[in-house]
Amino acid sequence: MAPSFSWWNNTKDTHRGTPVVIKMENPNWSMVELEGPSDEDFLISESPGRVRGKNAKQFTWVLLLKAHRAAGCLTSIGSAMLGLASAIRRRVASGRMDTDADVEPHGVREVENPAVRSRFYFCIKMFLCLSVLLLGFEVAAYFKGWHFGPAHLQLEYLWASPFGVKGAFDWVYSKWVLFRVEYLAPPLQFLASSCIVLFMIQSLDRLILCLGCFWIRFKKIKPVPKEGSFDPETGETGYFPMVLVQIPMCNEKEVYQTSIAAVCNLDWPKSKMLIQILDDSDDPTTQFLIKEEVHKWQQEGANIVYRHRVIRDGYKAGNLKSAMNCSYVKDYEFVAIFDADFQPTPDFLKRTVPHFKGNDELGLVQARWSFVNKDENLLTRLQNINLSFHFEVEQQVNSVFINFFGFNGTAGVWRIKALEEAGGWLERTTVEDMDIAVRAHLHGWKFVFLNDVECQCELPESYEAYRKQQHRWHSGPMQLFRLCLPAIIKSKISIGKKFNLIFLFFLLRKLILPFYSFTLFCIILPMTMFIPEAELPAWVVCYIPATMSFLNILPAPKAFPFIVPYLLFENTMSVTKFNAMISGLFQLGSAYEWVVTKKSGRSSEGDLTSLVEKPKHQRGVSVPDLDEMKEEIRQQEQKVSRKKKHNRIYTKELALAFLLLTAAARSLLSAQGIHFYFLLFQGVSFLLVGLDLIGEQVE
């Protein structure tokens, strides 16, 4: 008969001394592995009458196995940390600071205003220094026995002393605690509560937009042209008005071929369409290449002209304004605008222009963007999440319910009469597209967004290019708001539309969003770690942001694995957006910075094949050879890859990284779990961005 053994659990949360009989085939001692308490909590013994004990040899092997696993884990962590440290060392050694000017082939491009940048960076740096000093002070107090909870608990240590004060350090720390309770905590809590209110209002707005999008999908609401103007089954239309196609570009030699080829292959009668290549390049080589490309297509029968301005005032708005002043423009009814990296499909005009027929109040038809490089790196994946939500939710919902949204500057068709009534293109801001849309809306024109009509383009693949693009996109609306506010108030549109323009379109989505994102998560949250009397609830730090990120990612379901990096990166970008918003609102120097977003010229073979397909109505028209186009693009990519790569080091992001990591260390003393993990991961996110370790490297 096999002997029986029993064990007793020595842990505090179970009944002591309750034996559990285990039948064993082998009378020798054996280790029993159980989940829960550690091995030391369990005593294995023979049946009553035998002495309890442990097999020393087997116990040693278990300890050795655990030590081996721990050593392997430490080795992996150590190698990862060494790799990260090596990457940081190389980046610091070879990178350029964001204070350095950008050297272009034909001169120096002005960057953000140095005075504005230095003031903003100085504030962050002083805040960082103060937090480091406070952390050292708090650590010293911790080792002296102070409690790190609310103020009354911290003062228990002092009041428990028979003399009231134990020493000079305790006296100083007690004064600091009383000072922050009396003077620092109330205003900080008020600011935190105000930001929470703004946060909840913005979250409610985001939720309402998502519900509107769900309603559109449920009801299958979709803009449809008037009957007879377009047949969706055959793709044919009997409506062929005069259309002007414009491609403004500036030193974009990586993408000019694909965009020109795409518009030259639009399925529209040649006699009803004129293509304008509006070249603002100051590089003679780029000018020559674009001019030769236009000449080549002219020989192939395309109705295309090349325009170059000698005086390049007003950036893109000035370029478009100059083109609209041509005498032949009066013969055209509509104008389609494409940026240099956009590649419309041949049926683009057939699917957009028919919406104007029989709808005299319609001023703009906007198509959706799609991206040829959305899976290129982590940065492009995160941008795709943002822009997918912008088009599918924001643009579509505003189009269906209020017939107004911001023009995206490209992949849209305007009624020329609407442009003229709104005052034409103006160079007063860096968001000329939003400017013309607001002015057209004030004159009563309606807009339509087509979510099922896509136009391919590129996303910025480097953080430097993306950062400058976002600066322009967030400083311009504040400039425009200052300029348009009197006109909005005096306009004859309804009160509801005025409320939508002022509060929702400008204040909530363009001003409040970057303000509370930066203030709440990058300033107030770290401060509450050093002033624990002012608190941020866990649902503000974790649950609501996670829910909003979940809603944002719904239009791009394949990006769900990136929901955490997306949340962290959006908070990281808040420093750039906040800086841009302040610059635009107060007309600081960097608000007028207009930098062309760098393109990589990525096109797949499928994209090139679609460009050289012959439209059915243009018989006898030949196009450039596909192999020749592919070979030219391959040679361009090889030239770019051979050039030396440089990276930037972004001082504001690095300063905020160390600030958040310092606050995370302080939260450990208070045992604030969710706050610690948020601050830790957010600090690491700022560190990676500050060292330019996200996205492709910049030439």
Task: Say whether 375 is catalytic.
Answer: no
Q: How many angstroms separate the CA atoms of 156 and 301, rounded?
A: 89
pLDDT at residue number 646: 61
- The set of residues, in sequence order, having a beta carbon less than 8 Å from that of 637 and lying 6+ positions away, is 601
Task: Please say if 433 is a catalytic residue.
Answer: yes
DSSP letters spanning 194-221: HHHHHHHHHHHHHHHHHHHHHHHHHHT-
Dmax over Cα atoms in the chain, in whole Å?
A: 112
Q: How far apart are CA 97 and CA 99, in angstroms?
A: 5
Q: Using 50, 70 and 90 to split pLDDT, how confident is the model at 310? A: confident
pLDDT at 628: 58
Q: Which pLDDT score is estimated for 447?
A: 97
Average pLDDT value for the chain? 80
The C-alpha atoms of residue 204 and residue 579 are separated, in whole angstroms, by 25
Average pLDDT over residues 51-56: 51
Task: Exactly one of 98, 267, 279, 280 is catalytic; name it.
Answer: 280
Write out the E strands in 523-574: none
CA distance 358 to 354: 9
**pLDDT tens sequence across 151-164:** 545 555 455 554 44
What does the pLDDT look like over 341-395, one tens digit per residue? 999 999 999 999 999 999 999 999 999 999 999 999 999 999 999 999 999 999 9
Q: Is 466 in contact with 383 (CB distance < 8 Å)? A: yes
Task: Give backbone dihedrals phi and psi of 549, rounded to 5 degrees, phi first.
Answer: -65, -40
Contact 245, 339 (CB under 8 A): no
pLDDT of residue 254: 86
Among the listed residues 170, 433, 435, 692, the single catalytic one is 433
**Domains of the chain, first to last:** 86-97+111-135+195-221+470-600+647-698 (no CATH), 243-459 (3.90.550.10)
pLDDT at position 698: 46
Q: Which of 430, 584, 442 is nearest to 500 (CA)?
A: 442
pLDDT tens column, 433-475 = 999 999 999 999 999 999 999 999 999 998 988 999 999 999 9
